[in-house]
Structure 1
């Protein structure tokens, strides 16, 4: 049963048609992800479906008594109202405190916020969580969400995806977060050139289906071109002998990617990065850092020793307020550590994209702004002009001659990022680079970064982008350390859920449960470590991890060499001996690592 029907709907703003003769419906229980370029009509489609915008032509039909819940991009909250008044309204305490569903929403969205805080004093993330909690506590037949993941951290995004997937309500969501689309959506709508193209499945299925459609369209165009050439030849020479038409078969999804090379040549890029950067990029030696300055604000790093090397592509993960941006500012030398020192390589050429965009002259034009930095850029094996790169990031044709003062927030973000890349840095610090970027632009940005050699340190709540662009992840878990995450974001969420689950403070607040006592066998050894001994052990742990990484790289290269020498038995024997030696070294170092980790209690 359709909850909402659109019949031959068209709508335009000014001369630009956003929807042209669109007919579609939303079924009960259906979960739809809406994608498309910024300004392409996604929000307009949501508004027409919700009935808040009347289309220029066509008809919109709602089921009788349909309950629609809407989350817009701007959280329209009364600045004088408290969180309790906004979220709970007139509900008595006994009506919501005993409801498990409401308690879960409070725990994961409101957390430890003061229910008496007024909306006018809340940050952007707190306003977003409050608006989401208000929406999700109510019962709706259809929930419509416009960029719901804005300002949310990875944990909140993961919880929201699971919550929506478990609800009986139909959901229509506009988002550029591709992981979220995959986790929530059972169908995908693409708004493009006034049409709404429909695909089964989430983002991954949409990408494969779209690639298959493009392949079929290309095959059809090749057939048409062949027929045209034959017709021209016939007109010139007379009827030729009959020839069979080429036949095309639809391949399975796996065949589309069977011969696709890796996203980036990691070994080649790391070699080039090492040549440009040398051995030292950043060495943190016994660094202590507080977010608010020496001794003030949350503790971010506590006597940390760490190395960032040439060619490292690292994702930095943590909850909002954990100090991720502070770590980037420390590396950028805009803030100083409380103690310890940060050693920067002499060859480091840094570009830092912060969340606050600056250095853009509003009176300049887009292309001039980029060309004043550099007119050409070498990415991988190809040289690009400023205009070509602007086109890749969505500035096509006349858009390159726009005045910067007329650009949207997303366009300014793209321009600032491209200016940083045009300066040819060999170290990139990116703080939430995906804010306000649509999926097509994100794909182009990922492709650009794939060919960029250097050290990349990325802070992002966009899980798809994070895992796509980086090679490994580290986390700030509130213990003053950078914790390695071999399992990526999934491991981070598991560790957070196991060790630092959020406790909702309802009403007057409930204290968190007491921490479990450490096992008796571990207590004496932990108690016997002085601060200096612990620091030395952590240095040793980092050293062993670097050795393991190097041995793993050598092991991979030997496997590849053995595959190439499959018919040369003499060479195979030599390579096999080297491999056994490296494996033995790895076993020894892993045993040492386990011993040190056990002494630290990790």
Structure 2
């Protein structure tokens, strides 16, 4: 049970933002060490959690009747008050003297002090120990300590660590004493750059985990670079229509991706998928299916026979209303065919992401909703935690602690998609999975699906995503069949434009917009020769400019300490860049004219 919850908390001191959108919780019995740079917001954070400071924005909730004890950095006592009254209050002597815990606290923190002495006579260290003794004698659900070891000797620190570890109350402690952190903390929070990074264990575990996070961050950056190279590689290997780019661009891309492997290890994935699924996934046998139910609504399939095999990655396309979602519902078992039979493999473990958002518990936190499915999953040859996968799909840092009820529609869709993947299905049906996803998240999703072994059927209007994650394209062309299109989306568009199939929209009395094919530009043979000569001249000019650029870069490296020469070379480099851009534009205009 969480004693305290912070949701999107932000706070600034003057112009400096100390906390920005922090969401976290303190659980009962949890012992948390708080670390970070001086002035970075540690005291601000614990003061907000303790309820002593109201944040500029966000929400802080405490459980009902929560008892919080706070040791602040400054101890404000009445100088005329006796130590006994400050520490023990109005307790009678027989009452506190008969309590073994109270006697232990007094002996270890105030054993060398006269309890009848006035607070005004105490030194800084004595005042600190007095405040700590007062706090520890009380009953608290949560103890918040800001630099408790200041002015304590080694013995007192060791005693305090043992005492706090034995208490049942939750603990939040800010200290620079690394030994103390290791001795009392079960978790460590690092306040850094306006956020809070959470680690399991005390200081030693924190150092190791931080080093590991740095390594993972570098690996993530390396992976991001590889993703970019893979994207370029995929673009280069795609259909010719997608790669009709200037030759000098293509050559540069080929040099970049010379050692890049295919986007997916198709043979390896097929082997895994077959092992998990066997030979049969879905067999449609003479199936007739209508979109609105038995013999109701538009006809989707008319005595159709089809097989979905292990490891198939199929993009299902068709106009709106053609029945794509109905086919997915047929495969998921939500609807049954009017006629014929659907045979499902006995080992099929299905996950279906529909366009409707299923209900999630609005009071749960994002990470909890994923971890309740599974905490770890293996994708391809790598094991991922729920938190790592959430980060890949855009739930970074504090976002994993958001309440589900506060998520946007796009965030909920991402969360549901991840929950499906975490359940380790071997058949995945995705109906418009890209809705509300940004480009960065889409790229991560594509890369995640690259290593997923199983049968995948995707319905999407996002052509890039569809072509990126699927290996085969199947279309509903309004003729009651599932049509394989070897040429992919390009072939689908050509067939639609040529009118070789009955339009599903026409079948439902919806008007179909006419598709006009552009008139071919006619260039005479003489003009063509002249244009090609000019094109060759521009290509030679681009090669020379590229060579000059390389030389200028080398000269700049040699003149690293000569600022005057660097300035001249930098100006020349900018001028070369402008020349290249103008030449490239001219090249592209000519290439379009001659149809290259």
Q: Which has the higher contact order (CA 8 A, sep 6+)?
A: 1
Fold match by TM threshold 0.5: no
